[in-house]
Structure 1
Amino acid sequence: MTVLLSFPEYVEFRMRTRERKGKSAETAETVSSAQDLSPREAITEAIDTAHSAVSSDLVSRIIKQPPAFLEQLVLKLLAEMGYGGLEAPGEHLGGSNDAGLDGLIRLDPLGLDIVYVQAKRYTDQHVGRPEIQAFVGALHGAQASRGVFITTSRFTAGARDYADRVNARLVLIDGPELASLMIEYDCGVVTEENFVLKQVDENFFDQP
């Protein structure tokens, strides 16, 4: 950490990372306090920094893919998260006649409880209330009451407020959260290296 903090570029990167996570921006003096971290804290900090870079890379790569890629990715991610109980828990519906629904996930083995999915691959615009309203209308048309709306960008405050007030149960996942879930559930990422942190066994030295 001492070596890394000697590079202004790394200090600036840490500041941007904290801002993306909604934390207050750090000053150079605050960042420098990382030199006083314990080994465990330093490792955790380094992993968080690495994962922030991976998250940005994931979103960038998804944006470069065709829209159908994101639709398939979302279904795969939900399956990795444990939704569905069949060999094919999800079904891709995306296409010219998808009626505003890109896919569905079955939450029980018999397929009685279904969650519909909408995925928007946006680059320079946020998802607003009109898009959420259209999604709710599509859910009503399918006689469904649960939905997950995922985008590579962000949601406006109006979109989130509307999603909280409608009768349908909606979950909104933006680009950073999507990337975070992909890392957590090993979807589109691989473990590069494992580290073992050891400490003194106090019980060993307490033996008579």
Structure 2
Amino acid sequence: MPIPDFQSVMRPVLAAVADGAPLALSELRECIASEFQLSEEERNERLPSGKQTVINNRVGWARTYLNKAGLLSIPAKGRVQITERGREALDNGPARITVGWLKRYPEFADFHTARPADSAVPAVQVEPVEEATPDEQLADAHQALMQSLADELLAQVRAASPAFFEQLVVDLMIAMGYGGSRKEAGRATQATGDDGIDGIIKEDKLGLDVIYLQAKRWANTVHRPEIDKFIGALTRQRARKGVFITTSEFSAGAREAALGLDIKVVLIDGSELARLMVENNLGCSVKQVYEVKHLDSDYFSED
């Protein structure tokens, strides 16, 4: 069974504490995972941040929303308990409790409605995608922004000259930690007579080994013959490591050609190139930083 969205979790959370006794959050999570018959893989699936499982995040937000609506109380650290309002919701509420339904409670509506501070202009209220928790919405928005940036970067790279692209490839390798400074670590070879090699970079600051680069600013798919030529060039250089980077993509035959060799050949297509540029701040810079904080429960421990 797919992992339920956090609204689908709300009523089962109330039902799990219907007997009125406080329940540990860990037990609540187990109850919900069992209720929806989640597999071990589904129980262990994590958010993009990797810091929390998806089901625990959704149970946690369901608990928060129900608490803000007055349907649940938190009598002690890590515990939940149903309230009289919660019992009434179980008896008379809908089969699926949603954020929209919870807005009938003024305290929840106040909590859920954003109020930009010191704003003279009324904020335009945009209804969020309520199937996702706030953590998931933030992660999805970040991913969408990163994908948009990657698309813009790739378009710029494709519009650049071949010489610029060859130097960009060297700059990327240096930004990833190979060799140290640009002056000492890497260089683009001459446009002619390069024998199929577009760049050479030290693998480490001491230059104990080098990596040979091939850069193809192409719109068309790179096929196996190009990889075979690169492997031949590496062989003539007695090289052991090579990186082939393109702004397009590799065919299945090209990827197969890079496997099972004594020489290590890494293929980086346009999508991976853009991702690495974003990750290493090459051709882009940080616009704004948002800090996401959470409660430090250890601070409030009186033990």
TM-score, normalised on structure 1?
A: 0.79
Q: How does 1:116-127 map to 2 (within 5 A)?
A: 116-123=212-219, 125-127=220-222
The equivalent residue for 1:82 is 177
The equivalent residue for 2:251 is 156
Check whether the contact 1:127–1:153 (CA below 8 A) recurs between aligned residues.
Answer: yes
CA deviations 1:11-43 (Å, max 9, x no partner) are xxxxxxxxxxxxxxxxxxxxxx94232222211
The equivalent residue for 1:112 is 208
Structure with max Cα Rg? 2
Check whether the contact 1:120–1:152 (CA below 8 A) recurs between aligned residues.
Answer: yes
- Work out whether 1:140 is the aligned partner of 2:235: yes
Q: How many Å apart are 1:111 and its aligned residue?
A: 2.1
Q: Percent identity?
A: 41
The equivalent residue for 1:176 is 271
The equivalent residue for 1:12 is none
- Work out whether 1:99 is the aligned partner of 2:195: yes
Q: Name the aligned partner's letter for residue 138 of structure 2.
A: I
CA deviations 1:145-201 (Å, max 9, x no partner) are 210000000000000001012321000000000000011111111111000112222
Task: Provide the rounded CA distance (Å) in 1 between the counterparts of 2:175 and 2:296.
Answer: 36
CA deviations 1:64-105 (Å, max 9, x no partner) are 110111111111111111111455211111401111100011
Task: Provide the rounded CA distance (Å) in 2 between the counterparts of 1:149 and 1:170.
Answer: 7
Which of residues 116, 128, 149 in structure 2 aligns to 1:54?
Answer: 149
Structure 2 residue runs without a partner (length 5+)? 1-127
CA RMSD of aligned residues (A): 1.8
The equivalent residue for 1:45 is 140
Check whether the contact 1:127–1:159 (CA below 8 A) recurs between aligned residues.
Answer: yes
Q: Which has the higher contact order (CA 8 A, sep 6+)?
A: 1
Task: Provide the rounded CA distance (Å) in 2 between the counterparts of 1:166 and 1:196.
Answer: 45
TM-score, normalised on structure 2?
A: 0.55
The equivalent residue for 2:87 is none
CA deviations 1:119-141 (Å, max 9, x no partner) are 00011x10110000000111111
Q: How many Å apart are 1:142 and its aligned residue?
A: 1.2
- Work out whether 1:204 is the aligned partner of 2:294: no
Structure 1 residue runs without a partner (length 5+)? 1-32
